[in-house]
Amino acid sequence: KAGVTQTPRYLIKTRGQQVTLSCSPISGHRSVSWYQQTPGQGLQFLFEYFSETQRNKGNFPGRFSGRQFSNSRSEMNVSTLELGDSALYLCASSLLGGDTQYFGPGTRLTVL
């Protein structure tokens, strides 16, 4: 079975721009979670989607948003980028959300 895939793998943007990251979960998995990883803050939970509904959200500003499609693929969007948004964004999928999460390779976002 193919793992979690994320596109693009690398992205460079400038302050003020917006960005969309994509995540395709493992086939059959309906829950997708997003995490931000930075050297200073470590790994932090952004939000989780299940059946196209956001069920939970971490402590991030409203500039961070996401959505999930009927095929369980998910996108996250960051608007009005700030330098501090530079990070590795990781997507994880699980069958129903209350079980083990499997992570993708991540998207490395650099904001200049």
Least Å distance, CB 17 to another protein, is 24
For position 58 contacting another protein by CB under 8 A, the verdict is yes
Give dist(CA 106, CA 38) in Å, integer.
Answer: 12
Q: Among residues 4, 26, 87, 109, which is the contact residue for another protein, using CB under 8 A?
A: 4
For position 106 contacting another protein by CB under 8 A, the verdict is yes
Least Å distance, CB 46 to another protein, is 8
In the chain, count H helices and then E strands.
0, 11
For position 2 contacting another protein by CB under 8 A, the verdict is no
Candidates 13-21, 55-63, 64-72, 74-82; binding stretch for another protein (CB under 8 A): 55-63
Give dist(CA 1, CA 107) in Å, integer.
Answer: 21
Q: Among residues 56, 71, 77, 80, which is the contact residue for another protein, using CB under 8 A?
A: 56
What is the phi-psi region of residue 84: left when phi exceeds 0, alpha when psi lies from -120 to 50, beta otherwise? alpha
Side chain identity at 96, as an amino acid letter?
Answer: L
Q: Under rule CB under 8 A, how many of the chain's residues touch another protein?
A: 29
Give dist(CA 51, CA 95) in Å, integer.
Answer: 11
Cβ proximity of 101 and 93 under 8 Å: yes
Binders in 33-52 for another protein, by CB under 8 A: 33, 35, 42-45, 48, 50
